[in-house]
Amino acid sequence: MSLKMSSALAHSAACVVISRQGPTTRSTSLKARTAFSSSKSTKVSRRTKFGEQRAERMTVSAQELRDGDLGENAGESFFPTSETEKNCNGEEIPTEPIMRLGHGWDIHRLASVEEAGQGCVIGGIKIPDFDKGTIAHSDGDVLYHSATDALLGALGLPDIGQLFPDNDPRWRGADSEAFFDEAVRLMQLRGYRIMNMDVTLILQQPRVAKFKPAMKDNVVRICKTIPARVNIKARTHEKLDSIGEGRALSCHTYVMMERC
C-alpha cells in the first residue's frame, strides 16, 4: 500500500466530531408509552421532531451514567440533537441514515425451577412440561432481550442492562415484553420501522420447534410489522459447553431498520 493511500485511509478513519446541546428535564414515564405511541394525530416534520427532542432531553448526571441507571426515559437522552453533524473534514453527515443495522445477544443459565424461582420463557411463551427455569433478574427471556439490544444497538442507544439495570427492584421478575416494547417505541420515535429481523436461538433444551410460530407472532405484534419481515430459527449446541449440556441457553438477533 502506498504512503499516499495509507495517509488517506488514516485521515478518513478519524473520529466524527459531535456537537450536542445540553439536555433538559423530561417528565414522561415509561408507563405513558402506550398513550404516546397510540397518538396518531398530526404528522410533524423531521425538523420539528428534532426540535421537540432537544427540548425534552432529560438530565443525566455523570454519576447516573457510572451507576448504569439512567432512569425510565434515558433512551431519548441519547437521541441526536440535530439533523446533521460534521465529521473531521467539515462534511455535513445526516444523523439519521436511510437504513440501520443492529445485533443483540443474550445468554442465561438454566437451573431447577426451585433454584431459578421461575419457569422458562422464550419469545413470550412459557415453555410447558420443562423442569428447568431461567436464572435472571427479570423473566430471563433470551429472545426478547437479544431483540431489544439489537434495536437499541441499531439506534446507537445504551444497552438493555443500562436502560433496565438488574439492580433495580422494579424489574425483578418483570415481563421482558416491557423492555422490547420500549425499544420499539424508541425506534418509532426516531422515524424507523423494521426492515428485517432474523433471530437464532441456540439451546440444547428445551425443544422449541413447535413453539416458534407463536414466538414469531409475538415478535411481529410487538414490532408492529408483518410476518414476512421476521424470521426465527433454532439450533442446538451439539452438546458442547454449558449450552450443549443444558445448563444455559442463548440467542442472537440481527435487525435492519428503514426510514419511514
Please state the separation of Cα 115 from the chain's center in Å: 28
Which pLDDT score is estimated for 108?
97
Which pLDDT score is estimated for 212?
98
Distances (CA, A) of 16 to 21, 81, 87, 116, 251: 16, 15, 4, 45, 32
Q: Please tell me which residue, 144 or 164, carries the higher pLDDT value.
A: 144
Q: Residue 157 carries which side chain, given as an amino acid letter?
A: L
Which pLDDT score is estimated for 72?
52
Lowest mean pLDDT among 45-59, 94-108, 132-146, 200-214: 45-59
| Rounded Cα distance, 226 and 196, in Å | 10
Which pLDDT score is estimated for 71?
54
Which pLDDT score is estimated for 55?
36
Which pLDDT band, with edges at 50, 70 and 90, does 168 fall under?
confident
Q: Please tell me which residue, 26 or 145, carries the higher pLDDT value.
A: 145
Which pLDDT score is estimated for 73?
53
Please state the separation of Cα 103 from the chain's center in Å: 9
> Please, is 257 exposed, middle or buried when counting C-beta atoms within 10 Å of its C-beta (0-12, 13-18, 19+)?
buried
Which pLDDT band, with edges at 50, 70 and 90, does 219 fall under?
very high
DSSP, collapsed to helix, strand or coil, labels residue 251 as: strand
pLDDT of 252 above 60 = yes
Q: What is the pLDDT of residues 7-34, one digit of tens each?
A: 444 444 444 333 334 333 333 444 444 4
Longest dimension (CA), the chain: 65
Q: Which three cell numbers stand for residue 145?
A: 432481550
DSSP, collapsed to helix, strand or coil, labels residue 189 as: helix
Q: What is the pLDDT of residues 67-99, one digit of tens each?
A: 445 555 578 888 999 999 999 999 999 999 999
Lowest mean pLDDT among 119-123, 160-164, 214-218: 160-164
Which pLDDT score is estimated for 15?
40
Range 171-183 average pLDDT: 89
Range 230-256 average pLDDT: 97
pTM for this prediction: 0.74
Q: What is the pLDDT of residues 39-65, one digit of tens each?
A: 444 444 444 444 444 334 333 333 444
